Structure formats: C-alpha cells, structure tokens
Structure 1
Amino acid sequence: MKAGHIATLAVDCRCELGEGPQWQAKSQRLYWCDILSKRLHWLSPANGEQGQYTLDQMVSLATPLVDGRLLLVGERSLSIFDPTTQSQAHFADFEVDNPITRSNDARVDRHGSLWLSTMGKRAEPGAGSLYRLHNGELTQLRSGLTIPNAICFSPAGDAAYFTDTPTGIVMRWPLDSQGWPQGEPQPWADFSKAPGNPDGAVVDSEGCLWLALWGAGQVVRLNHDGQVTDEVKLPVSQPSCPVFAGDNLAQLYITTAQEGFSAEQRREQPQAGGLFVADCGVRGLADPLLRLE
C-alpha cells in the first residue's frame, strides 16, 4: 500500500453530522449537508468563498440539476431548491407514513437516476431501505437495512456498491443496461474486523472506490478486487463521505461529524464536523446530472 495522504481542514464548519458532499460544475461550488442541524453548506474552492443555508427539515444530499438548481433529499421528501432565490418546490414524498425514518446516503448513478437510502433516526435495526428515482418515479430496491451507505457506481454503470454500515461489508450489485439491479448483491470488501465502519464512498476516474471509515479517522482507496491500496488520514475520528471537487476534480474533500461525541471528545477533536481536503494524486469521476423525467 502507498504511504498515504494527510487531510487538512478546508472549512471549520463544525457540522453535527456532515454528509452528502456534491460538486456542482455549473457554479463551481461544493455543497454538503449538516443533516442534524438542518443546514446546507457551500464552498467555492477557487476563491475560498463559503456560506450556508438554513433549511426547514433534515437534508442528506443536495444534487445538481441541469438548470443550476439542486434537488434536496429531505427527511421524507424530495424538493427542488434554488440557491439564488432560496426558494423550494416540493417534488415527491417517500416513507411519509413512517415517522421513525429519515433519508441518509444518496448519489446519482451513471444513467442520471438517483439512488437514496433511509434509516431509523435512532438507527433502529432493519428500519432502512434503498430506493431509485428513475424518470421521476421512485422504486424501492431493498428493505430491512439498518444504516445504508457507500452508494456509488462503476464508471461503466454496470455495478452499484453499497453497505449496511453495522455489517462492515461493502456489497457489489450487478446492473443491467438501464441501471436496474440484477440478482442479489454480493460481498465485495470486508471491514467487519477492521477499525471503524464503512460509511460514504465515491469512485475515482480509474474506477477505484474511496471509502470513509467512520470511527477510524481515515478514508481508504479500494481497487477493483476490493483491496485497500491507499489511504487518507484525518485528525478527527468520524469521516462520513468523500467527493472529488474543484479544478479537474483533483482534490478529495471529506465531510466529518461530531455526532454522539461527549464534551471531552469535542475538546479533544476541535475540528470534528469540519470539511477536510487532500491531494491524492488521482482525479475524480464526475457524477452525471440528475434527470427528473
């Protein structure tokens, strides 16, 4: 394995639960969410400008649309958000009759469709599900999950990856030519006996997967066989999700969290919840823009 990389603080945002980093090429902005604090943060890496929006619900992802607006994956609904006017328009609901769940991980696949997951607000076992929003229609792909995470896709769009975090296993799921799952997902990478738990993930331009290990203070790179070949170390213990952003998608940004920390842990890790960045010597692979119809 390579010697590894060190991530440094990019934005001292102190998110309770930073998640869902997404690069919007049109505005040259990186967006990420603080789920529990109901905030949407942004950064312009080119000039260092940054800001945030206060939201009316927990949101786990803000993914770019063709016209420059964002689709917000909310607690139990999808809405379209205009950063210029800060206006929202309702798009669709999910699990509205299930008050114990909220959205969690999400990412657009190689076909321009959105995969999103839900989980219990208290991580109730088996309360979570995995969905796909394709041509404006939401379809449940899997249920009985606890903390679905690591949603990402092979460059050719012929495989999806995900994990149910408490299991420690990253799964690989073959997809057909329209991006629908085929057969059963298969175990691909096993972190059940490793420090930390698999959380968010992103695929780079070489088809390798960068996976945040919650609790272990690192992001690891997995090759096509699911073997760790590189790592990024952080000065905080709870990285949640990586994304490639900035000029030529050459920088790896990582959201982190201080969720569940004691007062002592917050003192020991004053940068916890911040947005971090590392130069890993590899470029990212742009996610397609979400298609709503």
Structure 2
Amino acid sequence: MTTEGAVHVIDDRTLELGEGPSYDPLTDKAYWFDILGMTLYEMDCQTDAVTPHPLPRMASEIAGIDQERQIIAMEDGFYFRDRESGDLKPHVPLEADDPNTRSNDGGVHPSGALWIGTMSKHGAREAGAIYHYRAGVVTQLYDKISIPNGICFSSDGVTGYFCDTVVNKLMRVALDPQTGMPTSEPELFFDQTGGKGVLDGAVLAEDGNLWIACWGGANVLVLSPDGTVVRELAVPTRQPTCPAFIGRNAERLLVTTAWEHMSPERRSIDAKAGMTFVLDPGVRGRHPAPVLVA
C-alpha cells in the first residue's frame, strides 16, 4: 500500500470504471467493481489483500443477504452470488429485454430494500431509470434518468437521496421507513451546477453528513443535513466515482475512481486514474442492512 498525504492507494490496478464500493459486516470484507472491465474486487479489511473475481457481464452493486448469499445487480438483472464459490444464480430480471442498458449506482435502505439505477451503455440521454427491489419485487420509481447516482439513505430510513449526474443536482425524498418506498415527490437538496465536477456516488455518515464524489472534480464533498458544503477532501485523481465506509467500526472511507473517457495524454498526466483509495475521514459511517429477498 502506498501513501499520498492522508489518502492511501489501497489497490493500484487502474480500473476503467471503478464503481459500486460496499462493505459486508458479516465477513469484514469490502467490495467494488470495474463495471466496464466486468470484474468484482474483494478486499479483506484485516489484511487489505484484494482478490479480483471475473464476471460474465457488467455489474455495479453487491450487497449481503445472509451467511451464504449475496445479491448482485448486473446489466440484465439481479443474481444471487454464493459467497464461498462465487457462483451466480439468476434471481429477478432488470431491463433484461433492453441490451442497450446496464445497472449503475445503488444502495441498501435500512428496511432491506435495494435501490438500483440503470443507464444507457452508449451515452443516450434519459434512457435509464431508478428501481426499488424488496422481497423479490422490482418497482420502477423514476424514469428518464441519464446517469443515476448518489443513492443513499438516512439511518432512520425516512429520507432518501439520488441524482442524475447529467442534471448535476442531488435530490431528497421522504420515504416509508418500513419499506423504503417514496411517500412524496423529490425535492432539491444540493445544486452542483457550475461547481467543480459533477455529482456521482454518495454515502451517509453516522453524524448525518452526506459524502459525495465529484467526477471531474478530484474531490469528495461533505454536505450537512441542510445541504451546506462543510468539508472538501481532495482525491489524487480527476475522476472519483463513489465512497463507502468500511471496517468493523466503519472508520475508513474507500473511494473508487475511473479513467473512462480519458485520452492517452490525460491518462499520462493522471497516473492514478482508476486506482482505489482509502481515506481517514475522521468520522464513522454505518454498516448496510442485509437485503430482504423473501
């Protein structure tokens, strides 16, 4: 592991589209993806040893179910993943009839619901959507989304957040804490228009502040519960994608990054593009709930 100030390179593989970091409290392991590289990365948080797992198709989100299984969102649906063998079993389709879309950002609500976004593989505007999955049922929540991101939830489950990176505005919505379903229309929480970079993946800390990566901004912004920027953490590469609190005490912040869309010249300047980092945030996060599948 190499160090640059308070930011540590936890894995120096340069991923085209590092995304979807998460933590599994059952096993004390962190996970993330190279979506375009069709690979799942697994890190033992005791040793920081990283193991890659090739996948048969693009995937972007993984979460725990129980001691034996995980659920993984892939480009054509949800799959069960056997923890020991890594074997995948189809569970529920997700836009499986549209070969032009794939899954993107997601997050687990305290009720065990999983929100997942979809988007065009080819950059088409408003080709995606955001869905709610719980107990085997998939419900579309919002359509005409270009790049769904920023999906995260308050610890009491009464508030959800999401954004369309193309629009560059983070939205807040009231939720039923028992189901994770919206109970009102979304409202503007934070407007990054004209700011440094565009809004990408997000996570909430134990203190209620929201940590959100800014693609193109080389930073992670920290927003207070009223939407005020209270901190800005530099990341030593231009395109951070998503943060996640990891570790038994949720005391470390893992940040994925990407080199997607960079020219060879840009990549030669931005040598750490696509590497995976860990920051010391000075605050604790919280562990995700297991996903309810039945």
Determine the structure 2 residue equivalent to 1:141: 141
**Cα deviation digits, residues 240-268 of structure 1 (max 9, x gap):** 00000013110011000010111112211
Tell me, what secondary structure is at the counterpart of 2:249?
helix
- Does 1:62 pair with 2:62? yes
Determine the structure 2 residue equivalent to 1:201: 202
Q: Against the structure 1 CA distance between its residues 68 and 273, is the aligned structure 2 distance closer, same or farther, given a 3 Å change threshold?
A: farther
Output the CA distance in 2 between the equivalents of 1:68 and 1:27. 11
Contact 1:26 1:68 in 2 (8 A): no
Output the CA distance in 2 between the equivalents of 1:68 and 1:242. 26
Output the CA distance in 1 between the equivalents of 2:135 and 2:61. 19
Tell me, what secondary structure is at the counterpart of 1:42?
strand
Contact 2:213 2:221 in 1 (8 A): yes
Tell me, what secondary structure is at the counterpart of 2:166?
helix
**Cα deviation digits, residues 58-104 of structure 1 (max 9, x gap):** 00011112124221100011111124212111101011222211100
- Runs of 4+ that moved beyond 4 A: none
Tell me, what secondary structure is at the counterpart of 1:166?
coil
Output the CA distance in 2 between the equivalents of 1:6 and 1:226. 25
Output the CA distance in 2 between the equivalents of 1:121 and 1:159. 29
**Cα deviation digits, residues 18-57 of structure 1 (max 9, x gap):** 1110101122110101000000001112112211100000
Shift of 1:136: 1.2
Determine the structure 1 residue equivalent to 2:263: 262
Shift of 1:195: 1.1
Determine the structure 2 residue equivalent to 1:35: 35
Shift of 1:127: 0.5
Output the CA distance in 1 between the equivalents of 2:13 and 2:151. 24
**Cα deviation digits, residues 190-248 of structure 1 (max 9, x gap):** 10110100000000001110000000000011001111111221110000000000131
Tell me, what secondary structure is at the counterpart of 1:247?
coil
- Which segment drifts farther, 26-35 or 265-274? 265-274
TM-score normalized with structure 1 length: 0.96
Determine the structure 1 residue equivalent to 2:227: 226
Output the CA distance in 2 between the equivalents of 1:97 and 1:36. 20
Tell me, what secondary structure is at the counterpart of 2:267?
helix
Tell me, what secondary structure is at the counterpart of 2:281?
coil
- Does 1:113 pair with 2:113? yes
Output the CA distance in 2 between the equivalents of 1:62 and 1:94. 15
Contact 1:201 1:211 in 2 (8 A): yes
Shift of 1:6: 4.1
Determine the structure 1 residue equivalent to 2:161: 161
Determine the structure 2 residue equivalent to 1:130: 130
Contact 2:156 2:177 in 1 (8 A): no
Determine the structure 2 residue equivalent to 1:51: 51
Determine the structure 2 residue equivalent to 1:91: 91
Contact 1:8 1:234 in 2 (8 A): no
Aligned length: 289
**Structure 1, gaps ≥5 residues long:** none
Tell me, what secondary structure is at the counterpart of 1:283?
coil
- Does 1:20 pair with 2:28? no
**Cα deviation digits, residues 99-155 of structure 1 (max 9, x gap):** 211100111101011000000112211111010001210000110111110000011
Tell me, what secondary structure is at the counterpart of 1:266?
helix
Contact 2:25 2:248 in 1 (8 A): no
Output the CA distance in 1 between the equivalents of 2:68 and 2:191. 38
Output the CA distance in 2 between the equivalents of 1:177 and 1:233. 34
Amino acid at match of 1:34: D
Amino acid at match of 2:246: A
Q: Against the structure 1 CA distance between its residues 8 and 177, is the aligned structure 2 distance closer, same or farther, given a 3 Å change threshold?
A: closer
Q: Identical aligned pairs, as a percentage?
A: 36
- Does 1:71 pair with 2:106? no
Output the CA distance in 2 between the equivalents of 1:138 and 1:292. 11
Amino acid at match of 2:196: P
Determine the structure 1 residue equivalent to 2:238: 237
RMSD: 1.2
